[in-house]
Amino acid sequence: MVTQENNESAKTDKPEPIFIGVDFGTSKISITTSEGKNVLEQNVIGYPKDPISSKFLKKEVLYGEEAIKHRIALDIFRPIEHGTLKSNKEDIAAAKGLLEHCLKSIDLPDDVESYAILGVPAEASVLSKKILTEISKDFFTSAMVASDPFCMAYELGELENVLIVDIGAGTTDLCRVHGTLPEPDDMLSWPKAGDHIDQTLIKLITEGYTDAMVTKEMAKRWKEQYAFVGEPQNDIKVDIPVDSSALELSITRELMESCESIVPDVITGITQLISTYDPDFREELRNNIIISGGGSLIKNIDSYIEEELSIVGGGRVSIIKEDPFLAGSKGALKLASDMPEDYWKQLIK
pLDDT grade for 5, boundaries at 50, 70 and 90:
low
* Confidence band of 252 (pLDDT split at 50, 70, 90): very high
Q: What is the pLDDT of residues 112-132, one digit of tens each?
A: 899 999 998 877 788 888 888
Helix axes 194-208, 252-260, angle to 10 degrees: 140
In this prediction the pTM is 0.88
Residues 182 and 288 in one domain: yes
Structural domain contains residue 22? no
Residue 233 phi, psi (nearest 5): -95, -30
Indicate whether 4 belongs to any domain.
Answer: no
Q: Examine residue 172 and state whether it is found in any structural domain, yes or no.
A: yes
**Residue 299 predicted with pLDDT over 70:** yes
- Final residue of a domain: which of 60, 77, 94? 77
Q: What is the CATH number of the domain that holds 234?
A: 3.30.420.40
Residue 268 forms part of a structural domain:
yes
99 occurs within a structural domain: no
230 within domain boundaries? yes
Let me know whether 182 and 60 are in one domain: no
Number of domains in the chain: 3
pLDDT of residue 297: 96
Q: What is the pLDDT of residues 178-199, one digit of tens each?
A: 988 899 999 999 999 999 999 9
pLDDT digits (tens, 9 = 90+) for 13-34: 678 899 999 998 888 999 999 9
183 and 272: one domain?
Answer: yes
307 shares its domain with 180? yes
Banded pLDDT at 3 (limits 50, 70, 90): low
- Domain with 284 in it: 157-192+263-319
Tell me if 55 is assigned to some domain. yes
Residues 269 and 284 in one domain: yes
pLDDT category at 346 given cuts 50, 70, 90 is low
Could you give the CA distance from residue 187 to residue 166 in angstroms, rounded to a whole number?
A: 11
The residue type at 51: P
Q: Are both 239 and 270 inside the same structural domain?
A: no
| Residue 82 is assigned to a structural domain of this protein | no
CB 153 within 8 A of CB 182: no
